[in-house]
Structure formats: structure tokens, C-alpha cells
């Protein structure tokens, strides 16, 4: 399948990065640290995409330790494991932020860098959901699914906003800055407190607040991880509303209809109508095999986000639909029949059942998602590199200042 049409390739040369970061932490703390300290640690021959890939390897290492110590997301790990997650994620954030500075320093800025950066971030989002759930001892259940929903929606809406406004806008509280720093603090505190079981305790009781009569029991008994989810929900609503307002203002300024842009959110809505429906109908997957399913759901979102970025870079129409949700449609339809038979007396038998074949179906969906998204990534990188005459992980044409070229010309004469 061709993901970039030949007539759209010239648009790649018109690419120009546009971003706005309103974060005070980023402006006064992180950016000075990146500019004056971190960037000097990377040699000029190192390609920006190689920096991004290297940073992502820290997250992969974190994920592997998670699979070893707490594959069910509800077991306490040795303190050093949580500490390594905090360090690994901070290094990922640092490398991910510095790759842009390296691109400008080496004069290698281009559309491939933005695509590569967003693609890695999309995969990292799902991995961090699993790591966070493991750190909080959320286990395999609806709390982890809600965390995944909030994280993927934040990323999808942010990319959708960038497509319509042509500018990457990070608010005063954003996932790439405050969100990641918050996770680093959570991991570090988990290491200090001795394990994720601490976050299962009542927050108000832990900080010494008595159970007064005016405090409802449901509020007093909320655990630390549940309070964090409330905080995440508030931030999600705020950022989503802000993104929608930005899109509507940008389209009105160009004399375009706003309703058309809102239709772009239906792809995400369709996927997240099917995902909870399937998990509700198949509690065995929810409680025992949620990790591979989260991978699958994350790749569904990563594939959508990747196609949006490509459409943004080539100035093509917004991509709607996602082929990776088709297996999920079948899974819901197959599981719905027995449920209808049980509750209303009319339905159809399941071809997959609710045992080993259902598990195999989940892994089949995961394999299909890896294949489709992998082919997308390879095809797009290959196409962009071939058209722009660049390499992905190395610098094909190192930048040489004009003065140096002039001196060489004089010597040649």
C-alpha cells in the first residue's frame, strides 16, 4: 500500500515546523537545561532521529523489567526497578526534546523528523500506560483501561489539532512536559515508599486527615491512584476543550466550516466504542490478558496518528477510518451473540468462545496491528528518504558553513 501519493511528495519540501509551548516549566527550567547542558553532550555527526531512537530504548528497557517483575501490573517490585523507570523516562523526555535542537544545529530539520518524533511518542504512550499501571498496582482491569483511554485521547486530539491549526500547541499543563515529569515523580516516590501497594491506601488518611462527618465516605476512601485518575480526567477535559477551541478559531479565520473538522474525532470515538464493549463482553481478556490487548489498542491509535501526521506534512485531506478496528468489530459481534442469548433469549453462537481461541484472537489482532503499522512506518520512511535524498538514522550530507566552502573554492583555484 502506498501511503504518500506521488503528486503529494513536493509538499514535503514546503514543510516548516511551527510550535507553541505555553509551559512555564519548559520555558524557565527544561529549555535552559537542554540548551546549555544536554545538547553539548551529543556530537555533531549524530543524527537527530538516532537521538530519538536512543532515548526510546530507555523506555523499552523499563518495559522489559516490568514484564519480568510485574507482568500482571499488581505486584510490588524492588525499589531499584521503580527508580530505573523514573531515570529511563526522564532520559527519554530529554532525548526527545533535544533531537529538535540537534536537527537545527546540524541543519537536518525536515518532515521526517516530525513524523519520526510523533511515531515514537505514539508507541511510548502505550508503554507508559503499562508502566504507570504497574507502579500504581492498578492491575488488569478498568482502571488501567481508563488510563489508556485518557493517554491515547490526549495524544490523538493534540495531533488532530496540529493538523487543522498547522501548529503544535502545548498548553500550560501538557503531556510531553508536566505529564512526563509527574510520572517520573510517581516512579521515584514509589521506589522511596517501597512499592506500588502504597498507592492503594486512602490519600486523606495517609496525610493525617480525620474522617469528619462532613466528608463523604466515598471521598475519604479514595486511594492515591484514584485521586490521580481524577486529576488526569480534569486535565484531559481541559486540554480537549482547549484543542477544540483552537481548531474552531483557526478554521473560522480561514473561512472554513468547523463541523467538518469535528468529524475527525469520530475515528477515535469509533475505536473507543468497540474497545470497552469487547472487554466488557470478554472479562477473561480484561482480567488475565490485558497487556497484549493494550498493545493492540495502542497500535490502533498510533496508526491513526501516523496517518494524520502524513496528511499534515503533505497537506492532504484528513484520514478517516482505520483498518485496524475491523478485527475488533468482528470480536464484538462474535461475543455479543452469546450475551444476547443469555439476557434476552435471542442471539447467535460464538465462533471463538471465551477460552483459548479468544486469547489467540487477541494475539492475532496484535500481530495484524504490528504488521500493518510496521509496513506503514517502513513505507513512509523509505519514501521520504528517497524523495528528499536523506538517510533516517545517519546524516547523509553534513552541513558545511558557506565560509568554509568559499575557502575550499579559493584553494581549488
**What is the set of active-site residues?**
118
Distance CA 365, CA 195 (A): 33
At residue 43's C-alpha, the angle toward residues 42 and 48, to 5°, is 65
Q: CB–CB of 55/96 below 8 Å?
A: yes
Distance CA 376, CA 393 (A): 18
At residue 311's C-alpha, the angle toward residues 390 and 172, to 5°, is 95
| Torsion angle of C-alpha atoms 61, 62, 63, 69, degrees rounded to 10 | 110
Q: 295-304 in b/e burial notation, b at 16+ Cβ within 10 A?
A: bbbbbbbbbb
Q: Which residues pair with 11 in a beta bridge?
A: none
Distance CA 220, CA 359 (A): 39
- Residue whose C-alpha is closest to residue 126's, from 334, 20, 345, 275: 275
169 phi-psi bin (left φ>0, alpha ψ -120 to 50, beta other): beta
Distance CA 277, CA 282 (A): 9
Q: Which residues pair with 195 in a beta bridge?
A: none
332 phi-psi bin (left φ>0, alpha ψ -120 to 50, beta other): alpha
Distance CA 383, CA 376 (A): 11
| Torsion angle of C-alpha atoms 48, 105, 40, 125, degrees rounded to 10 | -30
CA-CA-CA-CA torsion sign (116, 117, 122, 126): positive
Q: What is the DSSP letter of 18?
A: -
Amino acid at each position: 500500500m502506498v501511503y504518500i501519493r506521488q503528486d503529494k511528495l513536493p509538499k514535503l519540501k514546503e514543510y516548516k515546523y511551527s510550535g507553541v509551548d505555553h509551559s512555564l516549566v519548559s520555558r524557565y527550567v527544561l529549555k535552559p537545561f537542554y540548551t546549555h547542558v544536554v545538547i553539548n553532550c551529543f556530537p555533531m555527526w549524530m543524527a537527530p532521529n538516532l537521538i530519538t531512537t536512543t532515548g526510546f530504548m530507555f523506555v523499552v528497557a523499563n518495559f522489559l523489567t516490568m514484564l519480568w517483575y510485574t507482568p500482571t501490573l499488581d505486584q510490588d517490585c524492588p525499589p531499584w526497578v521503580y527508580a530505573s523507570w523514573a531515570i529511563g523516562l526522564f532520559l527519554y523526555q530529554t532525548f526527545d526534546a533535544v533531537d529538535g535542537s540537534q536537527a537545527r544545529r546540524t541543519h537536518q530539520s525536515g518532515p521526517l523528523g516530525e513524523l519520526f518524533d510523533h511515531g515514537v511518542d505514539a508507541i511510548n504512550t502505550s508503554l507508559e500506560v503499562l508502566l504507570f499501571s504497574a507502579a500504581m498496582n492498578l492491575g488488569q482491569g478498568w482502571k488501567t483501561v481508563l488510563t489508556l483511554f485518557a493517554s491515547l485521547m490526549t495524544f490523538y486530539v493534540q495531533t488532530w489539532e496540529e493538523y487543522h491549526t498547522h501548529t503544535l500547541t502545548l498548553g500550560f499543563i501538557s503531556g510531553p512536559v508536566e505529564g512526563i515529569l509527574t510520572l517520573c515523580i510517581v516512579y521515584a516516590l514509589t521506589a522511596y515508599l517501597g512499592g506500588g501497594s502504597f498507592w492503594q491506601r486512602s490519600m486523606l488518611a495517609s496525610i493525617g486527615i480525620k474522617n469528619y462527618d462532613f466528608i463523604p465516605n466515598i471521598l475519604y476512601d479514595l486511594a492515591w491512584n484514584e485521586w490521580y485518575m481524577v486529576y488526569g480526567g480534569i486535565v484531559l477535559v481541559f486540554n480537549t476543550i482547549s484543542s477544540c477551541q483552537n481548531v474552531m478559531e483557526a478554521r473560522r479565520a480561514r473561512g472554513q466550516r468547523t463541523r467538518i473538522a469535528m468529524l475527525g474525532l469520530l475515528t477515535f470515538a469509533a475505536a473507543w466504542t468497540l474497545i470497552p464493549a469487547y472487554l466488557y463482553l470478554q472479562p477473561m481478556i480484561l482480567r488475565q490478558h490485558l497487556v497484549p490487548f493494550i498493545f493492540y489498542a495502542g497500535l490502533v491509535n498510533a496508526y491513526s496518528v501516523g496517518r494524520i501526521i502524513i496528511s499534515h506534512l503533505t497537506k492532504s485531506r484528513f484520514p478517516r477510518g482505520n483498518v485496524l478496528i475491523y478485527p475488533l468489530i468482528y470480536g464484538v459481534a462474535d461475543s455479543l451473540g452469546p450475551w444476547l442469548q443469555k439476557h434476552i433469549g435471542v442471539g447467535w453462537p460464538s465462533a471463538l468462545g471465551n477460552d483459548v481461541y479468544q486469547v489467540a484472537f487477541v494475539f492475532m489482532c496484535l500481530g495484524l496491528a504490528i504488521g500493518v503499522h510496521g509496513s506503514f512506518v517502513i513505507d513512509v520512511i523509505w519514501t521520504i528518504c528517497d524523495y528528499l535524498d536523506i538517510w533516517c538514522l545517519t546524516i547523509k550530507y553534513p552541513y558545511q558553513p558557506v565560509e568554509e566552502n568559499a575557502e575550499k573554492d579559493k584553494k581549488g583555484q
